[in-house]
Amino acid sequence: MKALRGDFLTYATGYGLAMLLTGAAFALVYYHLAAPETAFAAILILGLVQIIVHMRCFLHMSLQRSARADLMLVLFSTLIIAFMVGGTLVIMINLRQRMM
């Protein structure tokens, strides 16, 4: 029962933080609280923090030795996706330059 309460508390905290970060990003854009360059940087930072919140609260990833294999799997998957997206962008930009 105690573990269930701890899991519920972790999920509730993650949900609250995710909603707060999402609301902050929307408010920043909707109310024009900063210059466009500053708003872009702030939204990028809020997004990165939200990724950390999701990994910690919903995927239960931590920096303990027992959870490092899961973390390495996620980081490797992210690296592969970044390579695929980056390669696609390079090809598309190259094709666009050749067509102009």
**CA 25 remoteness from chain centre:** 13
**Does the predicted model carry a pTM greater than 0.85?**
no
Q: Which of 46, 47, 74, 48 is nearest to 60 (CA)?
A: 74
56 within 8 A of 17, measured Cβ to Cβ: no
Residue 66 has pLDDT above 90, yes or no: no
* Structure tokens that stand for 65 in this block: 């030795």
Mean pLDDT in residue range 22-46: 97
Give dist(CA 97, CA 100) in Å, integer: 5
Mean pLDDT in residue range 29-49: 96
46 within 8 A of 21, measured Cβ to Cβ: yes
